[in-house]
A and B are shown apart, each in its own frame.
Chain A
Amino acid sequence: MTSAEMPGERFRLSMLIYDTRYRSLTIQVIALISFMLAAAWLVNNTVQNLAALGKTFDFGFLGTRAGYDINQTLIPYTNDSTHGRAAIVGILNTFLVAILGCLLATIMGVLIGILRLSPNWLVSKLAGTYVDVFRNVPVLLWIFAFFAILTDMTPAPAAFRGDNPSAQMIFGAVAITNRGFYIPWPVLAPGWQLVVGIFALSVVAVVAFGRYARARQEATGEILPTFWIKAGLLVAPTLLADLLAGHPISFDFPELQRFNFEGGGFIDKSLIALWLALSFYTAAYIAENVRGGIQAVSRGQTEAAAALGLRPNRIMNLVVLPQAMRVIIPPLISQYLNLTKNSSLAIAVGYMDARATLGGITMNQTGRELECMLLLMGFYLILSLLISSIMNWYDARVSLKER
């Protein structure tokens, strides 16, 4: 018996190109080699150029004294702090405006998206105009415009002065000036942990009670007066704790001094302008998403809900929006990403975000363009990868529910 031999296959060089089994491998190897060559070429050029400029590549400058001041900081910072700390202040400021912006943009966007579908002719036209105007003018212009509006429309601190001032503090606690908003700020004395802890516990209790009440309603049909019980749960223990601990949490109110309001908290105008501009701009896009999402829910759903006797706002809340969410959320998150990236225009109004500290003043004062740009781009890249992974996670979660 002889075993059947497979016809021998000899490898020839031309098979790399002509044989489809090898061709893709060939192409990939070529692609990889050319990519590596290109990268090596870039690195080589960079090394040569840096040597010619007499520059080195090191991140030591992050540990040296920054020497400049920052107006809005979330962590303690003075001009004696290091460039590294300035960069962190900037990064935190980016997070601050991005998170505030996403919140406001979502609220406004959903509202305007729903108003656009309103049967009220005037309202839907106004909402449509809002969307068109804000989407078709560059965001940088909006940032400048909001800054200018705040400058022109709000009074200077000097207007609060004198016997008959032309501007008044709201409730004697909040001063809206063209430098920013001065607000009361909590001052914590010993024992504050007790009050805050009790408050946190009451929040937990309120949530637990809400669940219990709903479960009970579903089981027995009995409706508990949840609002009053919840309010009591929320307020009473905290007040009691506050009394027992001897009012450890007090508020520091801003007061007009020689030049400015002093004391309390301060929100810089640049932050407000940037926040509003980014939110209003992004809200226009979100409104379109929301409108598209709602329209994607078939009319039959609305009609069926109406046939069940639900009121219009309940139809919206219980039937349409939950279904529209699936369409709305993915583009919504990419709008969040856009908003975060657009926040890098902060320098236009002098808000010190990551681009303005690390990629602005620090880069300018130290002349470390390459290092600063690498750090800055790395930061934004990580941020957006983070946001898009959240999006993918949510996508996966939502699509699982689809049956």
Chain B
Amino acid sequence: MKQRFLFGSAIALVLAAGAASGATLDDVKARGTLKCGVNSGLAGFAAPDAAGKWEGFDIAVCRALAAAVLGDAEKVEFTPTTTETRFTALASGEVDVLSRNSTWTFSRDVDLKFTFAGVNYYDGQGFMVSKDLGVTSAKELDGATVCIQTGTTTELNLADWFKTNGITYQPVPIATNAEANQQFQAGACDAYTTDASGLAASRATYENPDNWIILPEIISKEPLGPLVRQGDDQWADIVRWTLNALIAAEDYGITAANADEMATTSENPEIKRLLGTEGDLGAMFGLDKDWAKRAIQARGNYGEIFAANIGEGTPSNIARGLNAQWTDGGLIFSPPFR
């Protein structure tokens, strides 16, 4: 009797798990939570704290999205993914959106059938070395041992770059960022290569950050951004314009604190359209009027999110650089809300 029971409830569990179908927005609303795929641990970008609450630069995008769609920034289920599992998790419908420092590339967009909703961080692959080595340029790294994270575009970039420059290297593939840092600090590799943001964030946590230098060469373009499955344009639009709303908010000086006030007092028609006091942009993709205001109030505008998680003064201590607004000489830019 007992044996048959166990078998039976296995079937029941599987069936109870249910099947996903239809438009992603309807699924999310029906479910009441947003399922967001994130990095299982990258300082400043995504990490759970002692209470199990996820915070970080990539997490904030998910929170804003949940606030826009569901009205509550806390209604997010985070699925930690590895570099190997992330795309399958999205393709199989396990997550609604992947916000996990993933590089927008042709083959991922076209061949793997995803839609990148935009870029929330312009990055490039760089090298970090110990000051004692006396290296000032990556081109001097002929014969060096280089730590890399496996399963990422950095692995391929690295091979290409050394080949182009006609120099050799010895790769040390490592599965996680934390382990790679450990190896690098112990001297098991001469250089550590990953996205420059990651290098800066890692260096900040070292015992003596000044002993390590980041080389000037940036060997690749790494536009990182949230992505969704191809074929659900409505959902892709919602993710794209939520991100754009955060960026536009910084441009117009809308912050988490003053969003309510701006909505009523601002005379700027674009701000009024964005915050839902004029027109009804939200209805065009199945949300209400206040979607963007809630998104901004979740964790603040793009600038606030940047400053709180990875900006200067945080452990990562990253300057805005390329990620400044276009008006300040950066690349961060939102198309108009019209």
Contact A69 B171 (CB under 8 A): yes
B9 close to chain A: CB less than 8 A: no
Contact of B188 among A53, A69, A156, A347 (CB under 8 A): A156
Distance between Cα atoms of A53 and B231 in the complex (Å): 10
Closest to A257 in B: B143
Distance between Cα atoms of A360 and B143 in the complex (Å): 26
Task: Flag A124-157 by CB within 8 Å of B: 1 or 0 each.
Answer: 0000000000000000000000001001100011
B207 close to chain A: CB less than 8 A: no
Distance between Cα atoms of A181 and B96 in the complex (Å): 46
Distance between Cα atoms of A360 and B82 in the complex (Å): 12
Of the stretches B53-61, B150-158, B244-252, the one at the interface is: B150-158
Distance between Cα atoms of A360 and B155 in the complex (Å): 13
Task: Flag B124-167 by CB within 8 Å of A: 1 or 0 each.
Answer: 00000000110000000111110000110001101110010000
Distance between Cα atoms of A136 and B301 in the complex (Å): 50
Question: 8 Å CB contacts to B: which residues of A346-361?
Answer: 347-348, 350, 352, 356, 360-361
A178 close to chain B: CB less than 8 A: yes
Neighbouring A residues of B132 by C-beta, 8 Å: 158
Contact B186 A156 (CB under 8 A): yes
B170 close to chain A: CB less than 8 A: yes
Neighbouring B residues of A303 by C-beta, 8 Å: none
Q: Tell me how far the C-beta of A372 lies from the nearest C-beta in chain B, rounded to whole angstroms.
A: 11
Distance between Cα atoms of A336 and B153 in the complex (Å): 36
Most chain A CB neighbours (cut-off 10 Å) among B112, B132, B145:
B145
Contact B174 A350 (CB under 8 A): yes
Neighbouring B residues of A159 by C-beta, 8 Å: 187
User: Please, how many residues of chain A have a CB less than 8 angstroms from a CB on the other chain?
Assistant: 36
B79 close to chain A: CB less than 8 A: no
Closest to B91 in A: A53
Closest to B130 in A: A158
Contact of A260 among B170, B171, B173, B186 (CB under 8 A): B170
Neighbouring B residues of A158 by C-beta, 8 Å: 132, 187
Contact B172 A364 (CB under 8 A): no
Distance between Cα atoms of A53 and B113 in the complex (Å): 8
Contact A71 B175 (CB under 8 A): no
A85 close to chain B: CB less than 8 A: no
Contact A350 B187 (CB under 8 A): no
Known: A53-B91, A178-B187, A178-B188. A259 touches B144 (CB 8 A): yes
Contact B183 A151 (CB under 8 A): yes
Known: A259-B141, A350-B175. A54 touches B150 (CB 8 A): no
Contact B186 A151 (CB under 8 A): yes
Neighbouring B residues of A54 by C-beta, 8 Å: 113
Distance between Cα atoms of A69 and B172 in the complex (Å): 9
Most chain B CB neighbours (cut-off 10 Å) among A54, A157, A179:
A179
Contact A68 B187 (CB under 8 A): no
Neighbouring B residues of A364 by C-beta, 8 Å: 83-84, 151
B87 close to chain A: CB less than 8 A: yes
Distance between Cα atoms of A230 and B158 in the complex (Å): 54
If over half of B's interface residues share one DSSP class (helix, strand or loop), that class is named, otherwise mixed; here it is mixed
Question: 8 Å CB contacts to A: which residues of B5-34?
Answer: none
Known: A350-B174, A361-B155. A178 touches B190 (CB 8 A): no
Closest to B88 in A: A369
Closest to B150 in A: A361
Neighbouring A residues of B186 by C-beta, 8 Å: 151-152, 156, 178
Distance between Cα atoms of A301 and B291 in the complex (Å): 85
Distance between Cα atoms of A348 and B156 in the complex (Å): 20
Known: A53-B91, A361-B150, A367-B111. A347 touches B175 (CB 8 A): yes
Q: Tell me how far the C-beta of A70 lies from the nearest C-beta in chain B, rounded to whole angstroms.
A: 7
Contact B150 A356 (CB under 8 A): yes
B182 close to chain A: CB less than 8 A: yes
Contact A367 B160 (CB under 8 A): no
B189 close to chain A: CB less than 8 A: yes
Contact B172 A262 (CB under 8 A): no
Distance between Cα atoms of A352 and B170 in the complex (Å): 13
Q: Tell me how far the C-beta of B122 lies from the nearest C-beta in chain A, rounded to whole angstroms.
A: 23
Contact B172 A71 (CB under 8 A): yes
Contact of A350 among B91, B111, B142, B173 (CB under 8 A): B173
A67 close to chain B: CB less than 8 A: yes
Contact of A259 among B111, B143, B151, B156 (CB under 8 A): B143
A83 close to chain B: CB less than 8 A: no
Neighbouring B residues of A361 by C-beta, 8 Å: 150-151, 155
Contact A350 B84 (CB under 8 A): no
A12 close to chain B: CB less than 8 A: no
Known: A260-B170, A360-B84, A369-B88. A179 touches B189 (CB 8 A): yes
Most chain B CB neighbours (cut-off 10 Å) among A148, A270, A364:
A364
Distance between Cα atoms of A151 and B188 in the complex (Å): 7
Contact A367 B112 (CB under 8 A): yes
Distance between Cα atoms of A54 and B144 in the complex (Å): 41
Contact of A347 among B141, B150, B182 (CB under 8 A): B150
Neighbouring A residues of B171 by C-beta, 8 Å: 69-71
Distance between Cα atoms of A262 and B168 in the complex (Å): 12
A365 close to chain B: CB less than 8 A: yes
A116 close to chain B: CB less than 8 A: no
Q: Tell me how far the C-beta of B164 lies from the nearest C-beta in chain A, rounded to whole angstroms.
A: 12
Contact A367 B150 (CB under 8 A): no
Given A69-B159, A360-B84, A364-B83, list of 6 further CB < 8 A pairs? A79-B163, A259-B133, A269-B188, A350-B172, A350-B174, A361-B150
Please name 29 pairs of A and B residues whose Cβ atoms are closer than 8 Å in the assembled complex, sorted by A.
Answer: A53-B113, A54-B113, A68-B155, A69-B158, A71-B170, A79-B160, A148-B182, A151-B183, A152-B186, A156-B187, A156-B188, A157-B187, A179-B145, A179-B170, A258-B144, A259-B141, A259-B143, A260-B144, A260-B145, A262-B143, A348-B175, A350-B173, A350-B175, A360-B150, A361-B150, A361-B151, A363-B84, A364-B151, A367-B87
Closest 5 CB pairs of A and B: A156-B187, A79-B159, A350-B173, A259-B144, A69-B171
B residues adjacent to A (C-beta < 8 A): 83-84, 87-88, 91, 111-113, 132-133, 141-145, 150-151, 155-156, 158-160, 163, 169-175, 182-183, 186-190
